[in-house]
Amino acid sequence: MTSNSPISQYVSRFKAEKGKILSFLSAFPFYGEVLKNHQYYEADRVARNELSKKLDSLKEPIRRIEENFVRERRMDLIGSTEVLLSIIERLKNEIIGASYGLNGLGAGFKATESELEALAEWDYSLIHHADELSTKVKSPNFPPEVSVDTVRDWVSKFRSELDEFDSALKSRKDVFLKR
């Protein structure tokens, strides 16, 4: 495991959170091996929490777009971004849920260290994808006279971006299934 890899960054963050008790227990042979595996599970939890927060931050710019439609009394555009908010909420719940993390997916078998590192790399790419989504959601600045087709086109494109994120999220299990 290289010191620059995402898994080592998340494991370091977990170790910093746990502090002296973790380092004391890891000195004992039995606890050291248990804690070694546990730190990967905790690193996965830290990565999922970070990813969930990044997705949650997408909701506020979308709400502001909707507020502008209400403020401008554009009845034809009010509610056009609701589908995006529901997709983001569903994605966030999938990430937080145990079926996404190692708790649910890894319950039937023990993941190897290389699989856990590959999983962290995958999560790291998802975090970068969430950052790209954040940039895209903040970019539109619809003028008051914006056409309905322009808004619907933007919503459609952003929804397809969220669908790509969703499919990347669902294919995370392929790390373990070796597809």
Q: Concatenated DSSP letters for 129-175?
A: HHHHHHHHHHS----TT--HHHHHHHHHHHHHHHHHHHHHHHGGGHH
What pLDDT does 67 receive? 86
SS3 99: coil
Q: What is the pLDDT of residue 107?
A: 45
Q: Among 56, 68, 54, 50, which residue's Cα sits nearest to residue 154?
A: 68
Mean pLDDT over 66-80 rounds to 83
Asked if residue 172 has pLDDT above 80, the reply is no
**Pick from 99, 110, 113, 116: nearest CA to 170:** 99
Residue 33 falls inside a structural domain = no
- Quote the percentage of the chain above a pLDDT of 90: 17
> Quick one: CA dihedral 53, 55, 61, 65, positive or negative?
negative
89 located within any domain: yes
d(CA 111, CA 37): 9
Confidence bin at 125 (pLDDT 50/70/90):
confident
- Residue 164: pLDDT band (50, 70, 90) is very high
Number of domains within the chain: 1
Look at 48 and 174; give whichever has higher pLDDT.
48
Residue 41 domain flag: no
Q: What pLDDT was estimated at residue 106? A: 43
Give the pLDDT confidence score for residue 176 in this predicted structure.
60
The arithmetic mean of pLDDT across residues 150-179, rounded, is: 83
In a domain, 6, yes or no: no
Range of the domain at 159: 47-176
- Does some domain include residue 13? no
Residue 42 lies in a domain: no
Q: Specify if 39 maps to a domain.
A: no
Contacts (Cβ under 8 Å, ≥6 apart) of 38: none
One-character DSSP codes across 10-36: HHHHHHHHHTHHHHHHTTSHHHHHHHH
Residue 11 lies in a domain: no
